[in-house]
Chains A and B, each alone.
Chain A
Amino acid sequence: MTNKINILQTLEAEKDKLFQYANYRLNNIKDVEDVLQNLYVKILTNKHIFTNISNLRAYFYRMVSNDCNDILRESIKMNTMSIDSLTNTDIESLQPENFDEEFIIINRLLNMLPIEQSETIRYRLHCDLAFQEIADIMEVPLSTAKARYRYGIEKIKTNLKKENLL
């Protein structure tokens, strides 16, 4: 059983990583702040439930991921982000010069992948999590987390080559 202090300490420790994750899902800083603030409020108002959760980190990431999905579903951003083709993309546009450009490229590339692969890559590259941590969060064996990462990168690589972008 986890107490309230442990729950908040876990959140504090993961805050920056969750922030980076949400940033590269949502872009809009206001939405990102709302997602994290909502998580905090849920913890405060439902402490009794959190104390019974064995894998708190996994729960935090799933909650943030679900909230991001909800916001994207509602937002017109979904339309621009759901472009999974690389048509009209040139090598120059794959070299971003600011956060917004980088956000678009990263999401365009990750949208080619099944969600379990794109989530693995986000956790690894955006949250700087080790594969063992990712495996714990996604509740899969270590080998599966590694395989998802590799398959994801390989698929993007193949698609980029097909379009002569690599």
Chain B
Amino acid sequence: MSTEKLNNEDQDFNKVEEMLTPRFRREMKITFKTPKNNLKKILWTFSGVAAMLVIVLTITFKSNFTVSASDVINTALDNIYRAKNIQIEFEILGSKTNQDEIYKPNNNGERIRGTLYIINDNNKIFNRIDWHDNENNSIIYNGTDYIHLKNGVVVGKHPSLFSKELLLLFNLDNIDNNILNEADIETRDNLIKVNLKGNKNQIIYNGEFLITNKQLVKASAVLMGTDNQVDTLLKTLSIETNIDIPLNLFVDL
């Protein structure tokens, strides 16, 4: 190749570099804001369904509880927060999404069941959702990675620090008062029923607590339609704590 041609090639190379080099850079003006009670936002970013589930479970933070109701509810949530293992069977009305959580709540979607596992292994928090669908989708947050499994085979993985955020929501100190409006509380026999209107009164969260053993036994989120039609967006089928959940559920096999 002649020297002239080589020079031309070099000039063209430089021209491309110039085209790709920004001339209209924006000025960096961002100042980081220390988050305050914004766990909900983080949760929705990472895992909408799991976040909704926990919000449903923690609907009950309200200062105007009667003393006894407050005690039952606080104890029940604190027991979950401090549990070594949590397993929650749930059902949502949802549709598939290409986001990490695989399914998102959608009142025009289909009913799908899932199991949420949270374990606290020496302060390392692992989260997993098994979706009981045809593909056997499972998602895992092990503190360093997000892992997507189909039929037990890894089909997606990327770094994610999502870890203890779900569990933190069970700690009443971390719940943003603004997400909660007026709660209605009904005490009957051995049961405290709480319902709370959120999202411009369109969604009603329900929780049921057993008084005798101070346990949360049921929770749901119901969408109110304009014609008084209701859709249960999410409901728990069972809530268990401190049961045996093997740690290998959370590793990338």
| Residues of chain A whose beta carbon lies under 8 Å from any beta carbon of chain B | 15-16, 19-20, 23-24, 29, 32-33, 36-38, 40-42, 44-46, 48-50, 59, 62-63, 66, 70, 73-74, 94, 96, 98-99, 102, 105-106, 109-110, 121, 125-126, 153-154, 156-157, 160-161, 166
Q: Which 7 A-B pairs have the closest CB atoms?
A: A99-B24, A46-B161, A40-B32, A19-B28, A16-B28, A125-B21, A157-B16
- A sample of 20 inter-chain contacts (CB < 8 A) reads A16-B28, A20-B22, A29-B26, A38-B45, A40-B32, A44-B35, A45-B35, A46-B143, A49-B163, A59-B159, A66-B159, A73-B98, A74-B98, A94-B19, A102-B22, A102-B23, A106-B22, A109-B16, A110-B20, A166-B12
Count chain B CB atoms within 10 A of each CB in A24, A41, A110 and give the residue with the most: A41
Structural contact, A106 and B20, CB atoms closer than 8 A: yes
List of B residues within 8 angstroms of A125 by Cβ:
17, 20-22
Q: Which of B127-143 contact A (CB under 8 A)?
A: 143
The complex places the Cα of A66 from the Cα of B157 at a distance, in Å, of 11
CB-CB under 8 A for A166 and B16, given A41-B35, A41-B42, A106-B22: yes
Q: Which residue of B lies closest to A126 (CB)?
A: B22
CB-CB under 8 A for A20 and B25, given A41-B35, A41-B38: yes
CB-CB under 8 A for A36 and B24, given A66-B158, A109-B19, A166-B12: no
* Closest chain A CB from B192 CB (angstroms): 32
Structural contact, A153 and B23, CB atoms closer than 8 A: no
CB-CB under 8 A for A37 and B161, given A45-B42, A96-B24, A121-B20: no
Known: A20-B22, A45-B165, A66-B159. 20 other contacts (CB 8 A): A19-B26, A29-B26, A37-B33, A40-B32, A41-B38, A41-B42, A42-B161, A45-B35, A45-B42, A46-B161, A66-B158, A74-B99, A99-B24, A99-B25, A106-B22, A125-B20, A125-B22, A153-B17, A157-B16, A166-B16
Structural contact, A153 and B16, CB atoms closer than 8 A: yes
Q: How many residues of B contact A (CB 8 A)?
A: 33
* Closest chain A CB from B176 CB (angstroms): 14
List of B residues within 8 angstroms of A73 by Cβ:
98
Q: Which of B111-167 contact A (CB under 8 A)?
A: 123, 143-144, 158-159, 161, 163-165
The complex places the Cα of A153 from the Cα of B19 at a distance, in Å, of 10
Count chain A CB atoms within 10 A of each CB in B12, B24, B32, B123 and give the residue with the most: B32
Interface residues as binary, B27-67 with A (CB distance below 8 Å gives 1, 0 otherwise) = 01010111100100010010000000000000000000000
The complex places the Cα of A84 from the Cα of B161 at a distance, in Å, of 33
The complex places the Cα of A157 from the Cα of B16 at a distance, in Å, of 6
The complex places the Cα of A20 from the Cα of B22 at a distance, in Å, of 9
Structural contact, A24 and B16, CB atoms closer than 8 A: no
The complex places the Cα of A20 from the Cα of B26 at a distance, in Å, of 8
The complex places the Cα of A47 from the Cα of B44 at a distance, in Å, of 20
List of B residues within 8 angstroms of A48 by Cβ:
123
The complex places the Cα of A145 from the Cα of B12 at a distance, in Å, of 21
List of B residues within 8 angstroms of A74 by Cβ:
98-99
Structural contact, A46 and B163, CB atoms closer than 8 A: yes
Instruction: Find A157's partner among B12, B30, B32, B161 (CB 8 Å cutoff).
Output: B12
Structural contact, A49 and B22, CB atoms closer than 8 A: no
Q: Which residue of A lies closest to B124 (CB)?
A: A48
Instruction: Find B143's partner among A19, A49, A63 (CB 8 Å cutoff).
Output: A49
Structural contact, B24 and A63, CB atoms closer than 8 A: no
Q: Which residue of B lies closest to A73 (CB)?
A: B98
The complex places the Cα of A49 from the Cα of B163 at a distance, in Å, of 10
The complex places the Cα of A153 from the Cα of B16 at a distance, in Å, of 7
Q: Which residue of A lies closest to B100 (CB)?
A: A70
